[in-house]
Amino acid sequence: MTAVPPLSSDDQPQHVAIIMDGNGRWARSRGRPRTFGHREGVEALRRTVEAAGALNLAYLTVFGFSTENWSRPKDEVHTLMDLLRLYVQRDLDRLVREGVRIRVIGERSGLSADILRIIETAESRTAQNTHLNLTIAFNYGAQNEIARAARRVAEDVARGALRPDEVNEASLGARLDTAGLPAPDLIVRTSGELRLSNFMLWQAAYAELVFLDILWPDFDRAALEAAIDEFRRRERRYGGASRHAGS
């Protein structure tokens, strides 16, 4: 591997998105239940948010619960819901103080009233923050997100607020849950799986993909920096002329 110079503001990704995978395997290898792995996953998330702030990343998005995760055993689904409660409630004051803006993307219907209240409180209490934009994908699936955006487009066309010839990448993109957020430059998946698993499919159009063998509960600042180093070695072309990832 060639040496990579230290991170500077002009050659690091603006938006890193992470598929936090491998909690179950991490727990199993220790003879513990999968839910134990998810709990440790929250600690890894805390470390990662802190590291992202320290590295001056502007946007960090994490995949916390997918629309497909409902098919997992009831107690595991329950734990994942509890962990969102725990993470947001325990960390919110600190995140407010540290300038982190929280957004939650995904399908809101189907979530319990108390989870919705926690999400709304976290979003409104951090709405003025600008240091790090933390987006949690929760009850999220990219196909579901695109279908909901398409439904909004159809509704706007039906009520005359949008003409059919105005339906394009920009008008559909503006109706996605990620409206107003830049597309991720870098998508990281842990645990060695080489899939996007219905995560940010629209937004991933030009993202660099980095797959790490590390299991999510072991993720830390060094792993984040390793993924960013890999990003900076890539050439990004955006379908046009050659351009280095960081430039």
List residues near ligand FPP by CB under 6 A. 20-25, 34, 38, 41-42, 45, 64-65, 69, 80, 83-84, 87, 136, 138, 191, 216
- Which residue of the set 10, 11, 21, 56 is catalytic? 21
- Nearer to ligand FPP by Cβ, of 80 and 153: the residue is 80
Phi and psi at 10, nearest 5°, equal -95, -5
Q: How far is CA 170 from the centre of its chain?
A: 21
3-class secondary structure, 199 = coil
What is the smallest separation between the CB atom of 20 and ligand FPP, expressed in angstroms?
A: 4
Contact 18, 189 (CB under 8 A): yes
CB of 76 to ligand FPP, least distance (A): 8
Ranked by CB distance to ligand FPP, the top (closest) residue is: 24
Residue among 22 and 141 whose Cβ is closer to ligand FPP: 22
The C-alpha angle with vertex 197 and arms to 193 and 172, in degrees rounded to 5, equals: 145
Facing residues of 105 across strands?
137
69 is catalytic: yes
Report whether 204 contacts 184 (CB < 8 A): yes
- Tell me how far, at minimum, the Cβ of 40 lies from ligand FPP, in Å: 8
Distance of closest approach, residue 236 Cβ to ligand FPP, in angstroms: 28
State in angstroms the smallest separation of the CB of 85 from ligand FPP.
9
Q: Which two tokens stand for residue 70?
A: 């409902």
Q: Between 144 and 171, whose beta carbon lies closer to ligand FPP?
A: 144
**Residue with Cβ nearer ligand FPP (182 or 192):** 192
129 is catalytic: no
Give rounded-to-5 percent helix, strand, coil for the chain. Answer: 45, 15, 40
How far apart CA 172 and CA 246 sit, in angstroms, is 28
| Residue 38 or 101 with smaller CB distance to ligand FPP | 38
Catalytic residue from among 69, 129, 144, 198: 69
User: Alpha-carbon distance 217 to 118, whole Å?
Assistant: 24
Give the residue numbers annotated as catalytic, written as ranges: 21, 69
